[in-house]
């Protein structure tokens, strides 16, 4: 059996590991357009700051591929897939045949149309790859005024800002929404986060956009003009607005695309023997009850694992996922889970706040917990995420949850807690603990 995997990150490697678990002899080829073995993408801001190095940023050991008999093709860009002949076509003209194909290409940075932005400039760019961090490291050394503008106040923008600030630059985040992390936080938690950023030398300009980047004779930035007309000095401009599914190479393949790659419960696409997962896949959102793209590492791992299991001939269904983000901003831990800003009046919100130190918010739909914001005190976040994902009734425990006492729920319901990968599962009767798809609750 010939397996080809497009993508050398969390989804792709989880797929490869699952294949090898059930098929010890199949030929597995992993293709990446980057020139590095798998690295931990969330750590690129720490690399920029100097908190991690070329020795510690790697997601897999350098002998991982050889040990598992995986063929790794680096620096190879896939330009198309011929599903009729079952071939993957590389930019250099190479064609790779496959019996089963996994598509985990991730996302490409979205850059809003902005006058003056040029990604080829050594002082401008995006921030999703290892090479981006290396580029910004060089840019910081060359910056005359030590002023950086980061466009976007989401997770990418915040981590890029923290990394640049760690190199001694003054940073201003320009965010269109009224607050940083605007899609995940509410007004109170957003303000608390902005305050922590401000205290550490990062300014926030919310409700703003960059309309123009003024350039010097070399084509590098000297300042930016905001929507309000305000001008800010800028040696460096980083766009961290977000990513869009990298699906252009699938045009003409027959694989159904609707924003991202449409998959069924086995992670197979509309074309037989072609599977997908990760940031480019559309999965079932268990909170919003609809198809959605949820680009987070834990789900990418789960999706890849389910896909690889099915590719190797062992049937497994994926039940869907939900939004879950975890970040620490200058010692302030933040976790957001599921629905955090409800629009439905039937959904109730409960809040505990301790000044500027702690903020815990729970969102209930009837008796079912559907979302949470935990800031400062994130006790029980992993268990809460499992409760939310499973749609358990737990309204009577809201006060305990707000105070960080998660275990009364577990004890009362005779559940056991198991740490799985980077999160938790609550075990009633699991047939296969690492998967959430087969759970019988007592």
**The two structure tokens encoding residue 16:** 């490869």
Which phi and psi (to 5°) does residue 312 adopt? -85, 0
**The two structure tokens encoding residue 306:** 């389910």
Nearest to 12 by CA among 101, 82, 133: 101
CA dihedral sign, ordered 10, 13, 15, 20: negative
CA distance 48 to 133: 6
3 state SS for the chain? CEEEEECCCHHHHHHHHHHHHHCCCCEEEEECCCCCCCECHHHHHHHHHCCCCCCCCECCCCCHHHHCCEEEECCCCEEEEECCCCEEEECCCCEEECCEEEECCCEEECCCCCECCCCCCCCEEECCCHHHHHHHHHHHHHCCCCEEEEECCCHHHHHHHHHHHHCCCEEEEEECCCCCCCCCCCHHHHHHHHHHHHHCCEEEEECCCEEEEEECCCCCEEEEEECCCCEEECCEEEECCCEEECCHHHCCCCCCEECEEECCCCCECCCCCEEECCCCEEEEECCCCEEECCCCHHHHHHHHHHHHHHHCCCCCCCCCECCEEEEEECCEEEEEEECCCCCCCCEEEEEEEECCCEEEEEEEECCEEEEEEEECCCCCHHHHHHHHHHCCECHHHHHHHHCCCCHHHHHHCCCEEEEECCEEEEECEECCCCCCCCEECC
pTM across the whole model: 0.90
Instruction: Give me the pLDDT at residue 442, please.
Output: 20
Q: Could you give the domains of the chain?
A: 2-105+249-311 (3.50.50.60), 124-241 (3.50.50.60), 331-440 (3.30.390.30)
Instruction: Give me the pLDDT at residue 133, please.
Output: 97
Radius of gyration of the chain (CA): 23
CA distance 128 to 429: 39
Nearest to 245 by CA among 288, 269, 274, 276: 276
Nearest to 250 by CA among 263, 234, 236: 263
CA distance 11 to 29: 14
- Per-residue pLDDT tens listing for the chain (442 residues): 999 999 999 999 999 999 999 999 999 999 999 999 999 999 999 999 999 998 999 999 989 999 999 999 999 999 999 999 999 999 999 999 999 999 999 999 999 999 999 999 999 999 999 999 999 999 999 999 999 999 999 999 999 999 999 999 999 999 999 999 999 999 999 999 999 999 999 999 999 999 999 999 999 999 999 999 999 999 999 999 999 999 999 999 999 999 999 999 999 999 999 999 999 999 999 999 999 999 999 999 999 999 999 999 999 999 999 999 999 999 999 999 999 999 888 899 999 999 989 999 999 999 999 999 999 999 999 889 989 998 989 999 999 999 988 877 777 765 554 443 434 444 443 233 333 333 322 2
CA distance 39 to 292: 26
Instruction: Give me the pLDDT at residue 414, please.
Output: 56
Burial of 425 (0-12, 13-18, 19+ CB in 10 A): buried
Query: How are beta strands 236-239 and 2-6 bridged, if at all?
Result: unpaired
**The two structure tokens encoding residue 37:** 């073995």
């Amino acid at each position: 059996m010939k397996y080809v995997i497009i993508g050398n990150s969390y989804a792709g490697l989880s797929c490869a590991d699952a294949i090898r678990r059930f098929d010890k002899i199949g030929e597995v080829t992993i293709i990446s357009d980057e020139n590095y073995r798998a690295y931990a993408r969330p750590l690129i801001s720490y690399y920029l700051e100097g908190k991690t190095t070329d020795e510690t940023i790697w997601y897999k050991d350098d002998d991982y591929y050889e040990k598992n008999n995986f063929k790794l093709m680096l620096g190879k860009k896939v330009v198309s897939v011929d599903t009729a002949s079952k071939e993957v076509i590389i930019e250099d003209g190479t064609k790779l045949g496959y019996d089963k194909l996994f598509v985990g290409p991730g996302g490409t940075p979205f850059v809003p149309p902005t006058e003056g932005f040029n990604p080829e400039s050594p002082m401008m760019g995006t921030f999703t790859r290892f090479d981006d961090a290396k580029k910004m490291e060089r840019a910081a050394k060359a910056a005359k005024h030590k002023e950086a503008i980061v466009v976007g106040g989401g997770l990418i923008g915040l981590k890029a800002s923290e990394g640049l600030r760690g190199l001694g630059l003054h940073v201003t985040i320009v965010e269109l929404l009224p607050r940083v992390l605007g899609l995940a936080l509410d007004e109170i938690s957003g303000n608390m986060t902005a305050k922590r950023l401000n205290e550490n030398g990062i300014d926030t300009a919310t409700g703003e956009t960059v309309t123009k980047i003024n350039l010097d004779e070399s084509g590098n930035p000297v300042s930016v003009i905001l929507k309000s007309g305000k001008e800010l000095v800028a040696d460096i401009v980083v766009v961290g607005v977000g990513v869009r599914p990298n699906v252009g190479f699938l045009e003409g393949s027959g694989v159904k695309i609707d924003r991202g790659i449409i998959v069924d419960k086995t992670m197979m696409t509309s074309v037989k023997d072609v599977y997908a997962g990760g940031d480019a896949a559309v999965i079932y959102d268990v909170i919003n009850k609809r198809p959605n793209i949820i680009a987070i590492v834990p789900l990418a791992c789960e999706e890849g694992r389910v896909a690889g299991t099915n590719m190797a001939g062992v049937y497994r269904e994926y039940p869907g996922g939900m939004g879950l983000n975890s970040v620490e901003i200058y010692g302030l831990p933040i976790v957001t889970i599921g629905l955090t800003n409800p629009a439905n009046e039937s959904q109730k919100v409960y809040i505990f706040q301790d000044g500027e130190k702690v903020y815990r918010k729970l969102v209930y739909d009837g008796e079912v917990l559907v979302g949470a914001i935990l800031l400062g005190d994130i006790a029980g976040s992993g268990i809460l995420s499992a409760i939310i994902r499973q749609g358990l009734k737990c309204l009577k425990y809201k006060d305990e949850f707000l105070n960080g006492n998660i275990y009364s729920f577990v004890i009362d319901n005779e559940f056991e807690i198991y740490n799985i990968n980077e999160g938790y599962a609550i075990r009633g009767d699991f047939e296969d603990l690492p998967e959430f798809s087969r759970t019988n609750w007592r």
